[in-house]
Amino acid sequence: MFVRKQHLETKKAEPLAISVCCRESRLRLIEIAKFPERHFWHGGYDKAKYLTAGERDAFLRQADVADRPVRTLCMTLAHAGCRLSEALALTADRVDLAAGVLTIASLKKRRAGIYRAVPVPPALLGALDMVHGIREAQGRRGKGRGERLWPWSRMTGWRAVHAVMAAAGLEGPHASPKGLRHGFGVAAVSAGIPLNLVQKWLGHAQLTTTAIYADAVGAEEQDIAQRMWR
């Protein structure tokens, strides 16, 4: 009798739980239907949002007219795919102008002292040298060690990036440093970069994490194909 009563009570509670679940799912589906290109899927689940190629271009155009340190921070996030905290920790000695790479400390690892080298465009290297005096810093006795390019707090950096996003007309969860990072991953996979290289550049511990970006390429290709149908 006790088991039967418990069973009945469970069945009474189910409609409320299902109703809440359905409402949340319906809102999620409405959002995805409005902006399908901003969602990538893995195993049937919406994992994160990213800036499309067009949105990233609009962001970088707006960054061009921002204050010079803000511009270089925005360029670094877009072209290196690093986290905001990783960009703010970048020091002058970790900008290799000759090799064309940034040596980024992977701050989300369990132990410190793990770095990854990320190749970046010459335009970014030139901007970093011009604005932050990389060659001059590396020519001094300390070689630029410990000289942060942006001696800002994380909140100051976030506000600077968010202001550029807003000026570019971008809003929503994807209009963020994390959205830039995810956009970098999608762009790399779309360009045919092997997943193991993308994994290395992003500092992912597991290749399965990087593989999520491959699922986003389908949505990106659909967006490109739609241009032929207009």
pLDDT at 69 (0 to 100): 98
Domain extents in the chain: 48-225
pLDDT at 113 (0 to 100): 78
80: Cβ contacts below 8 Å, ≥ 6 apart: 87, 102, 104, 118, 120, 124, 184, 201
> What is the CATH T-level fold of the domain 48-225, as seen in this structure?
hpI Integrase; Chain A (1.10.443)
Q: Which strands sit side by side in the sheet containing 115-119, from one edge to the other?
A: 95-96, 101-105, 115-119
pLDDT tens-place values along the chain, 230 residues long: 444 444 444 444 444 333 444 454 454 444 444 444 445 444 433 444 788 889 999 999 999 999 999 999 999 999 999 999 999 999 999 999 999 999 999 887 666 778 999 999 999 999 999 999 999 999 999 999 999 999 999 999 999 999 999 999 999 888 999 999 988 988 888 888 888 888 889 887 776 766 767 666 555 555 555 555 65
Q: Of 123, 88, 111, 106, whose CA–CA distance to 199 is shortest?
A: 106
The pTM score is 0.73
pLDDT at 190 (0 to 100): 82
pLDDT at 44 (0 to 100): 36
